[in-house]
Amino acid sequence: MRHHAPVVASAVVAALGFGGSLRAEEPAMGKDLAATIALQGMPCDKVVSATRNGDSDYTATCRDGSRYHVFVDSSGRVVVKKL
Amino acid sequence: MRHMAISAISAFLLLVGCAHEKPVAPRPAATPAAPQKAGGAQKPQTATAQAPAAPAQPSQPSPAPAADTERAPSAAVPSSRAGTGGRAAATGAAGATGSGSAKTKVPGRNESTASAAPQPAAPSGAAAGTAAGGTATRPGASPAPALDLPSLEQRLRDTRAIGVFTKLSLKNQVDDLLGEFRAFHRRQAAVTVAELRQKYDLLLLKVLSLLQDGDPPLAAAVSSSREAIWEMLIDPQKFEKLARN
């Protein structure tokens, strides 16, 4: 058990620190992404997870399984692309 | 991760804020709108384009713009100087809504989208103009309070009911709509008044739908400014003043 403890601890830390995913305390970003997707005329009932790809760049997964790439292009426009 | 998220959001806010033109100092309120129009007009200066929400005095329901299919911009528009409410900043939506960003130059005016609308940019106010279905559809309604565009613009930019991405999206849409108005006044496009009105109403609805739950007072302000902002957008002279400002 002692040998496994560091491994388990590392796994937990890795899981918590897994980059870019939305956490439970970031529902606002999920709503923002869902609203943005809807404004572009694409269906997304609710964003269940989102991964931050970079600055102003997210990949959102909707409840129905649809995935969208939401980002701000060089001209400052929000772009939503279905993946 | 959290820090990265915070910095991304800050960058967005900066983007929305920078994109949004600095509101011009409000001039003295314009002469009150014509009797048929409710509400005093306010200088449509800083229409925030983000959300096409510009709180304007609850003007009456002017069905005229919608009925016009010809390019007679000022024909159906009352002479009153109703201020444009919320050129969103939006956009903020985009603040929201209005055409908050510097890019969104509502004809001479800062537009926040707003709701509108808009921040982001809020958007922006100018688009809110004539709310066809707005609250002011009752003829003979008491004059609406003067439209405070800068205030509405700021509210759209600051509202937490709309997220940064959404504000920016609204701002983009308000900017696009303003471009159509510009082309319309310059006779560079074959778009009709009815089509512009439809797009304007649709954008305003988007802003209101985003604000109604999270910021009901702002939604009400945007809704009440619909007609006033429309008047500013569809009248070529008022639109030109907006552009100059």
Q: In a 3-state reduction of DSSP, which class is residue B226?
A: helix
**What pLDDT sits at residue B147?**
72
Per residue in A35-79, pLDDT (tens digit) is 999 999 999 999 999 999 999 999 999 999 999 999 999 999 999
In a domain, A6, yes or no: no
Domain hosting A51: range is: 20-82
Low-confidence ranges of chain B (pLDDT < 70): 1-146, 244-245
The predicted-structure confidence for B151-189, as pLDDT tens digits, reads as follows 888 999 999 999 999 999 999 999 999 999 999 999 888
pLDDT at B145: 55
Number of separate domains in chain A: 1
- Beta-carbon contacts of B186 under 8 Å, excluding residues fewer than 6 positions away, are none
0.90 exceeded by the pTM?
no
Give a yes or no: residue A38 inside a domain.
Answer: yes
pLDDT of residue B215: 94
**What is the model's pLDDT at position B190?**
87
Residue of B nearest to A75 (CA): B103
Q: What is the DSSP string of B44-109?
A: ------SSB-----------HHHH--SS-TTTSS-S--PPP--BBEEEE---EEES-STT-EETTE
pLDDT in tens, B30-48: 444 444 444 444 443 444 4
Query: Which residue in B53, B226, B16, B30 sits closest to B146, CA to CA?
Result: B30
Handedness of CA B43, B244, B233, B212 (dihedral sign): negative
The sign one gets for the Cα dihedral A64, A69, A70, A75 is: negative
Question: What pLDDT is recorded for position B167?
Answer: 94
Q: In terms of DSSP bridges, do strands B89-92 and A78-82 run parallel, antiparallel, or are they unpaired? A: unpaired
Q: Which residues of chain A does B7 touch, with a Cβ-Cβ cutoff of 8 Å?
A: 55
CB contact under 8 A, A19 and B170: no
Does A5 fall in a domain? no
Calpha distance B22→B224 (Å, rounded): 24
Opening angle at CA A81, ends A77 and B4, nearest 5 = 65
Long-range contacts of B182-189 (CB under 8 A, 24+ apart): B182/B107, B182/B239, B182/B243, B184/B71, B184/B73, B185/B73, B185/B236, B185/B239, B185/B240, B187/B71
CA B39 to each of CA B125, B134, B142: distance values in angstroms, whole numbers, following the listed order? 16, 13, 7
Residue B23: Cβ-neighbour burial (10 angstroms; 0-12, 13-18, 19+)? buried
What ipTM, to 2 d.p.? 0.73
Amino acid identity, position A34: A
A81 touches chain B (CB under 8 A): no
Do residues B124 and B102 make contact, with C-beta atoms less than 8 angstroms apart?
Answer: no
Whether residue A4 lies inside any domain: the answer is no
Instruction: Check A32 against B168: CB less than 8 A apart.
Output: no
Q: What is the DSSP letter of B162?
A: S
Q: Measured between beta carbons, which residues in chain B are less than 8 angstroms from residue A35?
A: 162-163, 165-166, 169, 210
Euclidean distance between CA atoms B90 and B13, whole angstroms: 12
DSSP letter (8 states) at residue A17: H
